[in-house]
Amino acid sequence: MAAMTTACNLGFLTILQESSGHLGGFLVTNQWGRPLEFRLSTAVQPNRVQQILYGPTLATYLCAEVIGKALVDKTVARPQFILTDIEAALELRHHVPVPVVWLGEASRGDERPESPRLTTHPHYLEDADMVAEWLERQGKGLDLAEPFIRIRDALAEARKMGATNRG
Protein backbone atom coordinates (compact mmCIF):
# COMPACT_ATOMS: atom_id res chain seq x y z
CA MET A 1 0.00 0.00 0.00
CA ALA A 2 1.37 3.45 -0.92
CA ALA A 3 2.34 5.84 1.86
CA MET A 4 -0.06 8.69 2.52
CA THR A 5 1.10 12.10 1.41
CA THR A 6 0.40 15.18 3.42
CA ALA A 7 -1.75 17.75 1.66
CA CYS A 8 0.06 21.00 1.07
CA ASN A 9 -1.24 24.40 0.03
CA LEU A 10 1.15 26.47 -2.06
CA GLY A 11 1.15 30.26 -2.13
CA PHE A 12 2.24 32.17 -5.23
CA LEU A 13 2.97 35.90 -4.87
CA THR A 14 3.79 38.29 -7.69
CA ILE A 15 3.92 42.06 -7.85
CA LEU A 16 3.70 44.12 -11.01
CA GLN A 17 5.09 47.62 -11.34
CA GLU A 18 2.89 49.73 -13.59
CA SER A 19 2.37 53.42 -14.22
CA SER A 20 -0.47 53.41 -11.66
CA GLY A 21 1.79 51.86 -9.01
CA HIS A 22 2.72 48.44 -7.66
CA LEU A 23 -0.05 45.84 -7.89
CA GLY A 24 0.13 42.48 -6.14
CA GLY A 25 -1.56 39.15 -6.67
CA PHE A 26 -1.54 36.15 -4.33
CA LEU A 27 -2.84 32.75 -5.40
CA VAL A 28 -3.14 29.81 -3.02
CA THR A 29 -3.46 26.43 -4.69
CA ASN A 30 -3.64 22.88 -3.50
CA GLN A 31 -0.66 20.64 -4.24
CA TRP A 32 -2.05 19.87 -7.71
CA GLY A 33 -2.26 23.53 -8.70
CA ARG A 34 -6.01 23.96 -8.30
CA PRO A 35 -6.93 27.41 -6.97
CA LEU A 36 -8.19 27.66 -3.41
CA GLU A 37 -8.09 31.44 -2.98
CA PHE A 38 -6.99 34.52 -4.92
CA ARG A 39 -6.30 37.98 -3.57
CA LEU A 40 -5.17 41.12 -5.29
CA SER A 41 -4.05 44.45 -3.94
CA THR A 42 -4.97 47.92 -4.99
CA ALA A 43 -2.23 49.86 -6.74
CA VAL A 44 0.33 51.30 -4.33
CA GLN A 45 2.09 54.41 -5.60
CA PRO A 46 4.80 55.80 -3.33
CA ASN A 47 5.06 59.56 -3.33
CA ARG A 48 8.30 61.41 -3.95
CA VAL A 49 9.04 61.87 -0.24
CA GLN A 50 8.70 58.11 0.36
CA GLN A 51 10.94 57.42 -2.63
CA ILE A 52 13.61 59.69 -1.15
CA LEU A 53 13.32 58.40 2.42
CA TYR A 54 13.20 54.68 1.58
CA GLY A 55 15.85 54.97 -1.12
CA PRO A 56 17.16 51.58 -2.26
CA THR A 57 14.95 49.76 0.29
CA LEU A 58 11.70 51.02 -1.30
CA ALA A 59 11.13 47.94 -3.48
CA THR A 60 11.53 45.46 -0.61
CA TYR A 61 9.36 47.62 1.64
CA LEU A 62 6.54 47.78 -0.93
CA CYS A 63 6.76 44.15 -2.05
CA ALA A 64 7.16 42.55 1.37
CA GLU A 65 5.72 44.78 4.07
CA VAL A 66 3.01 46.73 2.27
CA ILE A 67 1.66 44.45 -0.46
CA GLY A 68 2.85 40.92 0.32
CA LYS A 69 2.06 40.97 4.04
CA ALA A 70 -1.39 42.48 3.49
CA LEU A 71 -2.29 39.84 0.89
CA VAL A 72 -1.08 36.94 3.03
CA ASP A 73 -2.76 38.28 6.18
CA LYS A 74 -6.14 38.52 4.42
CA THR A 75 -5.94 35.01 2.98
CA VAL A 76 -8.02 32.32 4.67
CA ALA A 77 -6.46 29.32 2.90
CA ARG A 78 -3.06 29.12 4.57
CA PRO A 79 -0.12 27.97 2.45
CA GLN A 80 2.64 25.77 3.83
CA PHE A 81 5.12 27.84 1.84
CA ILE A 82 5.09 30.85 -0.48
CA LEU A 83 6.81 31.05 -3.84
CA THR A 84 7.47 34.39 -5.48
CA ASP A 85 8.93 35.48 -8.78
CA ILE A 86 9.98 38.83 -7.29
CA GLU A 87 13.29 38.84 -5.45
CA ALA A 88 12.34 41.90 -3.37
CA ALA A 89 9.45 39.89 -1.87
CA LEU A 90 11.88 37.62 0.01
CA GLU A 91 11.74 40.14 2.86
CA LEU A 92 8.18 38.91 3.44
CA ARG A 93 9.76 35.99 5.32
CA HIS A 94 10.37 38.32 8.27
CA HIS A 95 6.60 38.81 8.56
CA VAL A 96 5.14 35.33 7.99
CA PRO A 97 5.65 31.99 9.77
CA VAL A 98 6.14 29.96 6.58
CA PRO A 99 9.05 29.68 4.14
CA VAL A 100 9.22 32.25 1.34
CA VAL A 101 11.20 31.17 -1.68
CA TRP A 102 12.14 33.17 -4.75
CA LEU A 103 11.74 31.10 -7.87
CA GLY A 104 14.81 32.13 -9.82
CA GLU A 105 15.74 30.95 -13.25
CA ALA A 106 17.11 27.44 -13.63
CA SER A 107 20.87 27.32 -13.84
CA ARG A 108 22.44 27.26 -17.30
CA GLY A 109 22.37 23.85 -18.90
CA ASP A 110 19.53 22.67 -16.66
CA GLU A 111 16.52 22.38 -18.93
CA ARG A 112 14.28 20.50 -16.52
CA PRO A 113 11.36 22.85 -15.73
CA GLU A 114 10.72 21.08 -12.41
CA SER A 115 14.11 22.04 -11.01
CA PRO A 116 14.21 25.83 -10.78
CA ARG A 117 16.73 27.63 -8.65
CA LEU A 118 15.17 28.20 -5.23
CA THR A 119 16.53 31.18 -3.32
CA THR A 120 15.64 32.08 0.23
CA HIS A 121 16.21 35.07 2.43
CA PRO A 122 19.77 34.84 3.79
CA HIS A 123 18.45 34.60 7.37
CA TYR A 124 16.28 31.58 6.49
CA LEU A 125 18.53 29.37 4.36
CA GLU A 126 16.90 26.18 5.67
CA ASP A 127 13.66 27.16 3.90
CA ALA A 128 15.09 26.19 0.50
CA ASP A 129 15.95 22.70 1.74
CA MET A 130 12.47 22.19 3.17
CA VAL A 131 10.76 23.32 -0.04
CA ALA A 132 13.15 21.35 -2.26
CA GLU A 133 12.52 18.24 -0.16
CA TRP A 134 8.75 18.65 -0.50
CA LEU A 135 9.09 19.15 -4.26
CA GLU A 136 11.24 16.03 -4.53
CA ARG A 137 8.71 13.93 -2.57
CA GLN A 138 5.40 15.30 -3.79
CA GLY A 139 5.83 18.02 -6.37
CA LYS A 140 7.39 16.09 -9.22
CA GLY A 141 6.13 17.40 -12.52
CA LEU A 142 4.60 20.50 -10.93
CA ASP A 143 5.35 23.58 -13.05
CA LEU A 144 6.07 26.22 -10.43
CA ALA A 145 6.24 29.05 -12.97
CA GLU A 146 2.78 28.44 -14.46
CA PRO A 147 0.69 29.85 -11.55
CA PHE A 148 2.42 33.22 -12.00
CA ILE A 149 1.02 33.38 -15.53
CA ARG A 150 -2.47 32.76 -14.13
CA ILE A 151 -1.99 35.50 -11.55
CA ARG A 152 -0.88 38.04 -14.18
CA ASP A 153 -3.80 37.07 -16.42
CA ALA A 154 -6.24 37.39 -13.49
CA LEU A 155 -4.80 40.81 -12.59
CA ALA A 156 -5.24 41.97 -16.19
CA GLU A 157 -8.83 40.70 -16.21
CA ALA A 158 -9.56 42.38 -12.86
CA ARG A 159 -8.28 45.69 -14.26
CA LYS A 160 -10.61 45.33 -17.26
CA MET A 161 -13.57 44.57 -14.99
CA GLY A 162 -12.76 47.54 -12.78
CA ALA A 163 -12.52 49.85 -15.77
CA THR A 164 -15.81 48.52 -17.11
CA ASN A 165 -17.56 48.95 -13.76
CA ARG A 166 -16.36 52.56 -13.43
CA GLY A 167 -17.36 53.41 -17.01
How many CB atoms lie under 10 A from the CB of residue 160? Answer: 10
Provide the 3-class DSSP secondary structure of residue 41.
coil
With respect to residue 104, please indicate whether it lies within any of the assigned structural domains. Answer: yes
Tell me, rounded to whole angstroms, the distance of Cα 70 from its chain centroid.
Answer: 13
Q: Give per-residue pLDDT as tens, 54-66.
A: 999 999 999 999 9
**Other CB atoms within 10 Å distance of the CB of residue 143:** 13
> How many domains is the chain built from?
1
CATH, residue 122? 3.30.420
For residue 19, the Cα-to-chain-centroid distance in whole angstroms is: 21
pLDDT tens-place values along the chain, 167 residues long: 333 356 789 999 999 988 888 999 999 999 888 999 999 999 899 999 999 999 999 999 999 999 999 999 999 999 999 999 999 999 999 999 999 999 876 544 445 555 567 889 999 988 988 888 888 887 667 888 899 999 999 999 988 887 434 43
* Residue 3 located in a structural domain: no
Q: What range defines the domain where residue 112 resides? A: 10-166
113 inside domain: yes
30 domain-assigned: yes
Among residues 114, 101, 117, 133, the alpha carbon closest in space to that of 33 is found at 114
pLDDT at 166: 40
- How many whole angstroms separate alpha carbon 65 and alpha carbon 80? 19
Give pLDDT, residue 158: 86
Q: Which residues contact 139 (CB under 8 A, 6 or more apart)?
A: 31, 114
Residue 2 lies in a domain: no
**Residue 1 domain flag:** no
Q: Is residue 48 domain-resident?
A: yes
Determine, yes or no, domain membership for 57. Answer: yes
Compute the distance between CA of residue 40 and CA of residue 151 in angstroms, rounded to an integer. 9
